[in-house]
Structure 1
């Protein structure tokens, strides 16, 4: 018989959205809720807004029984409920609870907030993440091979490439690929020729891979010149308007992959994120490197938050070892 008794509430609290998971003592998600009350879209300004958003999404769960609560993401940023300093790399993922912060609601509920990570290599600007460290922890939980040595790729608005060795994040880098694509499509001259008209999948995929191939031929330089080709291919009719966004996406993702792989030794690659976006990266990886990712992991945040709770001693021993 399955035990559906909730033992933990886990919050993935980002800039634009809030997701909440009720989990058993064994780490199984038994209920999921979501709202648009991210840290920049609270029901009211300031601390009362965080209180209201938390009560709205978790109140009925906590009315039934007291439960530990853990959170990750921008809720721990300077714009969040409480700013939690970053844990510097190399960062043992098991040490996240020791660097975590805490807030207590007006009703007396304690919330443990993950710290995020900072990578500050000599001679280069620092890099930071908030929330992705929990996704990384969840993606490698229960997989000793991934913990031993893996490069994790987390595509998105700000894509992350992180290296894990021995359960420790040794370093990472951010590529603003998603945000740059959105700006180019909506705010630049390149977007003026783009169309959302229906397009056959074969044509769409071919345009994307053409962009990837062009980025691979160019190497790590010349991106600004290549991007203008998105416009000229449309002006000359060599690509239909509905395929220009795909070509531009291929250029940007291809450039990201070429740049990131140039600083990484051979080893397994793991894609973490939405299946559609990860599939796009997987096609580009195969075209550039001749191999795709070892696996695609969707939504590992609950598993990462469960590990945070276990490592912090918030769950009893019956929960087992999350590693």
Structure 2
């Protein structure tokens, strides 16, 4: 007996981005529209009682469908790491989207399929790895009208990824620990001790904050990071930098260093980097866009976060979801 396909507004996919510190889940329609979103502080290192199975059951409660018509489920991120629920081997580069979709691993006893991470061993034998960002890259490419030629996806975060894409194929990537370095320096170094804890927070578009950030970007570009880090303390001690602006200046230093090194490496390659696209939380990508402008570079296109779109696209390519029209895609 034939079964009618669910309409475009029906739940077709449970999509999870399961990282080290948090877990996000979306209920997605057959056409890729997000119907509902949930967030829990249940990263792989901070699980509730009952571990992975309990966390998964809780965050998808009421979403799983009926026993005779289960809803497909897919997850990306550190859940597939050695410390995760089920380890999924890395895939080597170069890699196209069909290879990624064809390499999903199912967690035993569940219908949840995990997206593999990627390993890049193309640079002098020095490996680099990612888990989760590959899915966001898929979502970002899906949003672009044209993926021909060379594209450089810049994906800021705790560990920023610069992903090289050639004609739709992921060709390589480099990781910059900018976000983690910022947290370490502000929380665990002498530089952070001068940050006032009682001073009023200035709005993000305050001119003084913008100037401090720009000064940090230019300082890193001209002299490099190592020789400029201690200037944070020296500038405050001499009254040339307001202590309330330390985080902005330091952020500029770190992002300026990242952009200077990454762009130099991109141009040193055999091929031009082509289009540069910023992917991720606008609160962070906006800062990167400003740094590009401060350095006199063309400001990249900003796409916003793309994990759920990537999960949906991989699920469609893997045959887990039959995409339908008639609904706005996520």
Q: Which runs of at least 4 in structure 1 moved beyond 6 Å after TM superposition?
A: none
Gaps of 5+ in 2: 1-6, 267-271
Equivalents in 1 of 2:123, 2:255: separation in Å? 27
Q: Give the conservation status (yes or no) of the 8 Å contact 2:13–2:71.
A: yes
User: In structure 2, do the counterparts of structure 1 residues 271 and 248 end up closer, same or farther at CA, with 3 Å as the change threshold?
Assistant: same
Q: Give the conservation status (yes or no) of the 8 Å contact 1:77–1:84.
A: yes
Superposed displacement of residue 158, structure 1:
0.5
Paired residue secondary structure (1:104): coil
The TM-score with structure 2 as length reference comes to 0.89
Superposed displacement of residue 144, structure 1:
4.1
Q: Which residue of structure 1 lines up, in the alignment, with residue 243 of structure 2?
A: 241
Q: Which residue of structure 2 lines up, in the alignment, with residue 100 of structure 1?
A: 104
Q: Which residue of structure 2 lines up, in the alignment, with residue 112 of structure 1?
A: 113
Q: Give the conservation status (yes or no) of the 8 Å contact 1:10–1:71.
A: yes
Q: Which residue of structure 1 lines up, in the alignment, with residue 36 of structure 2?
A: 31
Q: Which residue of structure 2 lines up, in the alignment, with residue 259 of structure 1?
A: 261
Q: Which residue of structure 2 lines up, in the alignment, with residue 58 of structure 1?
A: 60
Q: Give the conservation status (yes or no) of the 8 Å contact 2:104–2:114.
A: yes
Q: Which residue of structure 1 lines up, in the alignment, with residue 233 of structure 2?
A: 231
1:311 to 310, 317, 324: 317
Superposed displacement of residue 36, structure 1:
1.2
The TM-score with structure 1 as length reference comes to 0.91
Equivalents in 2 of 1:152, 1:184: separation in Å? 26
Q: Give the conservation status (yes or no) of the 8 Å contact 1:147–1:164.
A: no
Equivalents in 2 of 1:228, 1:142: separation in Å? 41
User: In structure 2, do the counterparts of structure 1 residues 124 and 207 end up closer, same or farther at CA, with 3 Å as the change threshold?
Assistant: farther
Paired residue secondary structure (1:60): coil
Q: Give the conservation status (yes or no) of the 8 Å contact 2:149–2:274.
A: no
1:286 aligns with 2:263: no
Q: Give the conservation status (yes or no) of the 8 Å contact 2:116–2:131.
A: yes
Equivalents in 2 of 1:172, 1:146: separation in Å? 17
Report which structure shows greater RCO (CA 8 Å, sep ≥6).
Answer: 2
RMSD of equivalent CA atoms: 1.8
User: In structure 2, do the counterparts of structure 1 residues 63 and 314 end up closer, same or farther at CA, with 3 Å as the change threshold?
Assistant: closer
Superposed displacement of residue 150, structure 1:
1.1
Superposed displacement of residue 262, structure 1:
0.4
1:19 aligns with 2:51: no
- Number of matched pairs: 310
Equivalents in 1 of 2:325, 2:168: separation in Å? 20
Q: Give the conservation status (yes or no) of the 8 Å contact 2:118–2:129.
A: yes
